[in-house]
């Protein structure tokens, strides 16, 4: 409709709004963007601020072109590509910063606003917690206020902010409807670049001295568990993760995994049922209490009783499990698979010698195991988060010299010694324990609960769990990490148990967080179908969802339209009747003029149409009495309406 027109220039106040928005949106990116980009963007913002302050001229176009080229080249050199999450975000940051340098017209301003909205979205790639949502909401109000300022430079900041908040509040019901009903698609739509899931923490399938103690410094949540019924005692809460059996003298690694062929033996009593909400860790394995029987859909259970998903866990995942704590696996195992749990590396001669000696001295294998655990218990071994660094013969050094270590040191030394003594043994990593949140009754398992223990295979019995850490620091198992390590060690703040009111607040916060995760972040296509069928939609396919969504949005729009039309000032009924008279007379070209009083109007009509003199005079007199005189009430008003309705006007053809 509109011809192409020059976009109006920005007022100074509008420029200030846009600058403030850009700063607000770019600030959180400083944490993740490459350092040089952060510095460059900071300098650009400062430069643009100075230009604004002094009302100087903007840099010429060739300089901007150069800056775009240089920045893009820098991003390419940093990431070696332009596609993918991190380079994409970096390019957006660059474009927003440089767009500020050619901020002249309202159209440029709109581009800045849209870039800000887009960048706001990319912040969710790093975190999606409640606090992130809150900050994003605040930024959204500000950006929308800036957009409103583009629509009208003359209004005050408070008015823009109020309007922005009002509009977003009115938009919220739409968001709710769309969020619930928009047919969800399980991403990704195409193969994601390799860097898509960088920055997820958790256990790995290799363990060397220090890897678990490092992880223990993190208070991040690994997964949450809701049990059907009572939470089992702590010494049962061994959450099985990667099983490691290959050793190169320093690092333990997992071997190739095979799916367990035979159905699980579920003859044991006392099965525990629970549901786990696993935080994404970009690895295949799922965690389960020892020992799981049936894998969740899309996963398998390996011969080593690891639960493995078919694809890496890249978004929060909820699955239900059943475990049998009394079940002992591997009674039927033999041959090659056992031999792979006997391999020893060539080094650590002193440990080998000691193990050989124990084997000769002890009657059976169980005695060797006891001997080893007693050794840990009776000699001066220390359980610490900050063990000394170990050299090439790490197990020798730990067992005979330093004697200070974390669970991976104890498990590693134990398994090595068992193998040296001729007993098949392997390392199991995972988590141990967890914290009960009384507010929502979930068990929270953190990275700081990461643990490593051992399994030994005994003829006729199968794989038995042995936790050498329990021999040294029984508290670790019974009461958690905080009570097991000496005071003064750098524990994650959230794991400390000594401040009770803080714990209370934390429990509450985590309960809120958990519902947030379950309902907002964990609203997957599957969850959507569950929720919708519980809400009464019989077949929630995408057609039905779209139809309901469109209908609800239509209702909301109708409501808003009513709001847009409703707030008119109701006219006085007398005035309405008077206006009707004017409309009626307009048919013969005698509409009342704006400035015309009732008496003048009656006079003019009488001059033009003498036959209307009588009724016009009566109507005008009544109107004057009603509006300006003492006459009031329903009856004379009705009389006025009647007179106007009865007046007969001959319309010329």
Partner 1 sequence: MQAVASFKRWLFRLYGPEAAPIVLNQRRVYVLPTRAGLVYAAALGLMLIGAINYNLSLGYALIFLLTGLGLVALLHTFRNLVQMEISPGRVESVFAGDMAHFDLQLLNRRKQGRFAISFKLEGGRAVSTDLSADATTTIGLPLPTRRRGWLHPGRVTLETRYPLCLVRAWSYVEPDMRCLVYPRPEASAPPLPLSATGESGGARSGKGTEDFSGLRTHQPADSPRHVAWKAVAREQPLLTKQFTGASAVQVWLDWNELPPDLDIEARLSRLTRWLIDAHAQGLAYGLSLPGRKVPLGQGARQFQDCLEALALHGG
Write out the binding residues for partner 1, residues 109-128 only, by CB under 8 A.
110, 114, 117-118, 120-122, 124-125, 128
SS3 call for 156: coil
State which of residues 386, 561, 614, 638 lies at the interface with partner 1 (CB under 8 A): 561
**By the rule CB under 8 A, 235 interacts with partner 1:** no
What totals of helices (H) and strands (E) does the chain contain, helices first? 23, 18
> What gap in Å lies between CA 253 and CA 244, rounded to an integer?
5
> Helices marked H in 152-293 — which ranges?
157-181, 211-215
Provide the residue count of the chain: 653
Told to judge if 21 belongs to the known catalytic residues of this protein, a careful annotator would answer: no
What lies within 8 Å, CB to CB, of 270 at 6+ separation is 324, 325, 326
**By the rule CB under 8 A, 6 interacts with partner 1:** no
The helix-helix angle for 85-99 and 106-122 (nearest 10°) equals 150
**By the rule CB under 8 A, 187 interacts with partner 1:** yes
The nearest distance, CB 576 to partner 1, in angstroms, is 13
**By the rule CB under 8 A, 523 interacts with partner 1:** yes
Half-sphere exposure (CA, 13 Å, Cβ side) for 107?
A: 5
The nearest distance, CB 38 to partner 1, in angstroms, is 22
Closest CA to 378 of 287, 276, 471: 471
The nearest distance, CB 563 to partner 1, in angstroms, is 8
**By the rule CB under 8 A, 182 interacts with partner 1:** yes
- Judged by beta carbon, residue 122 or residue 384, the one nearer partner 1 is 122
> What gap in Å lies between CA 226 and CA 443, rounded to an integer?
6
Half-sphere exposure (CA, 13 Å, Cβ side) for 71?
A: 28
The nearest distance, CB 167 to partner 1, in angstroms, is 5
Looking at residue 189, the DSSP 8-state letter turns out to be S
- Judged by beta carbon, residue 170 or residue 343, the one nearer partner 1 is 170
The nearest distance, CB 287 to partner 1, in angstroms, is 21
Told to judge if 281 belongs to the known catalytic residues of this protein, a careful annotator would answer: no
> For residue 186, which phi and psi values (nearest 5 degrees)?
-75, 120
Told to judge if 467 belongs to the known catalytic residues of this protein, a careful annotator would answer: yes
- Judged by beta carbon, residue 360 or residue 568, the one nearer partner 1 is 568
DSSP β-ladder status, 299-301 and 307-309: antiparallel
Size of the site for partner 1 (CB under 8 A): 71
Q: What residues numbered 301-360 form the site for partner 1, per CB under 8 A?
A: 314-315
**By the rule CB under 8 A, 651 interacts with partner 1:** no
State which of residues 66, 400, 563, 628 lies at the interface with partner 1 (CB under 8 A): 563
Q: Which of 451, 498, 603, 646 is catalytic?
A: 451
Closest CA to 429 of 218, 219, 221, 245: 245
- The CA distances from residue 268 to 238, 261, 292, 326, in Å, are 18, 19, 12, 7
> What gap in Å lies between CA 471 and CA 456, rounded to an integer?
16
The nearest distance, CB 570 to partner 1, in angstroms, is 9
State which of residues 36, 179, 493, 555 lies at the interface with partner 1 (CB under 8 A): 179
**By the rule CB under 8 A, 188 interacts with partner 1:** yes
**By the rule CB under 8 A, 591 interacts with partner 1:** yes
Binding part of the chain for partner 1, among 169-177, 212-220, 331-339, 360-368 by CB under 8 A, reads 169-177
Cα radius of gyration rounded to whole Å, the chain: 38
For 617-626, b/e burial (b = at least 16 CB within 10 A) is eebbebbeeb
- Judged by beta carbon, residue 42 or residue 522, the one nearer partner 1 is 522
- Bridge partners of residue 300, in order along the sequence: 308
> What is the CA angle 449-452-454, rounded to 5?
145
- Bridge partners of residue 453, in order along the sequence: 428
State which of residues 43, 338, 520, 645 lies at the interface with partner 1 (CB under 8 A): 520
- Judged by beta carbon, residue 136 or residue 624, the one nearer partner 1 is 136
State which of residues 172, 499, 512, 608 lies at the interface with partner 1 (CB under 8 A): 172
- Judged by beta carbon, residue 147 or residue 395, the one nearer partner 1 is 147
State which of residues 586, 599, 607, 645 lies at the interface with partner 1 (CB under 8 A): 586
State which of residues 6, 57, 158, 189 lies at the interface with partner 1 (CB under 8 A): 189
Query: Which amino acids are annotated catalytic?
Result: 407, 451, 467
């Amino acid at each position: 409709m509109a011809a192409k027109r020059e976009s109006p220039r920005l007022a100074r106040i509008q420029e200030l709004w846009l600058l403030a928005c850009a700063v607000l949106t770019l600030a959180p990116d400083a944490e993740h963007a490459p350092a040089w980009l952060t510095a460059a963007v900071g300098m650009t913002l400062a430069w643009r601020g100075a230009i604004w302050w002094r009302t100087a001229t903007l840099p010429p176009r060739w300089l901007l072109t150069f800056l775009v080229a240089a920045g893009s080249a820098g991003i390419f050199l940093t990431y070696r590509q332009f596609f993918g999450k991190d380079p994409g975000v970096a390019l957006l940051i660059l474009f927003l910063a440089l767009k500020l340098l050619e901020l002249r017209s309202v159209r440029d301003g709109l581009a800045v606003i849209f870039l800000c909205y887009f960048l706001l979205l990319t912040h969710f790639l790093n975190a999606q917690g409640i606090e992130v949502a809150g900050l994003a909401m605040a930024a959204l109000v500000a950006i929308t206020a800036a957009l409103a300022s583009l629509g009208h430079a003359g209004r005050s900041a408070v008015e823009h902010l109020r309007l922005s908040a009002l509009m977003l509040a009115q938009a919220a019901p739409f968001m709710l409807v769309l969020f619930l009903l928009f047919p969800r698609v399980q991403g990704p739509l195409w193969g994601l670049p390799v860097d898509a899931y960088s920055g997820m923490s958790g256990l790995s399938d290799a363990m060397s001295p220090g890897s678990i103690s490092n992880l223990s410094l993190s208070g991040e949540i690994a997964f949450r568990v809701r049990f059907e019924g009572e939470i089992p005692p702590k010494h049962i809460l061994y959450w099985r993760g990667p099983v490691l059996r290959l050793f190169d003298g320093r690092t333990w690694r997992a071997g190739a995994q095979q799916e367990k062929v035979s159905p699980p033996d579920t003859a044991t009593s006392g099965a525990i049922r629970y549901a786990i909400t696993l935080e994404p860790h970009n690895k295949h394995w799922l965690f389960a209490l020892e020992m799981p029987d049936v894998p969740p859909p899309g996963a398998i259970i390996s011969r080593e009783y690891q639960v493995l998903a078919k694809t890496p866990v890249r978004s929060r995942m909820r699955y239900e499990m059943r475990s049998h704590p009394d079940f002992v696996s591997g009674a039927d195992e033999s041959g090659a698979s056992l031999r792979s749990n006997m391999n020893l590396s060539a080094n650590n001669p002193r440990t080998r010698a000691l193990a050989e000696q124990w084997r000769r001295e002890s009657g059976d294998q169980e005695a060797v195991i006891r001997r080893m655990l007693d050794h840990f218990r009776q000699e001066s071994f220390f359980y610490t988060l900050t063990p000394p660094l170990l050299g090439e013969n790490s197990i020798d050094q730990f067992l005979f010299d330093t004697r200070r270590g974390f669970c991976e040191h104890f498990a590693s030394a134990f398994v090595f010694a068992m193998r040296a003594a001729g007993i098949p043994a392997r390392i199991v990593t995972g988590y141990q324990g967890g914290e009960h949140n009384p507010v929502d009754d979930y068990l929270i398992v953190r990275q700081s609960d990461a643990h490593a223990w051992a399994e030994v295979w005994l003829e006729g019995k199968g794989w038995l769990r042995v936790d050498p850490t329990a021999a040294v620091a029984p508290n670790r198992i019974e009461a958690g990490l905080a009570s097991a390590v000496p005071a003064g060690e750098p524990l994650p703040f959230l794991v400390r148990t000594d401040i009770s009111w803080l714990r209370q607040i934390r429990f509450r916060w985590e309960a809120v967080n958990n519902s947030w995760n379950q309902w907002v972040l964990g609203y997957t296509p599957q969850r959507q179908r569950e929720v919708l069928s519980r809400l009464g939609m019989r077949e929630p396919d995408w057609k039905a969802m779209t139809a309901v969504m469109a209908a609800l949005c239509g209702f909301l729009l109708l409501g808003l339209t009513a709001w847009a039309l409703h707030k008119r000032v109701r006219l006085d009924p007398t005035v309405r009747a008077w206006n009707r008279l004017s409309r009626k007379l307009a048919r013969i070209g005698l509409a009342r003029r704006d400035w015309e009083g009732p008496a003048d109007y009656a006079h003019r009509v009488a001059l033009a149409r003498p036959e209307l003199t009588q009724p016009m005079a009566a109507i005008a007199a009544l109107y004057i009495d009603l509006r300006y005189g003492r006459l009031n009430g329903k009856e004379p008003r009705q009389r006025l309406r009647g007179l106007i309705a009865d007046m007969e006007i001959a319309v010329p053809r």
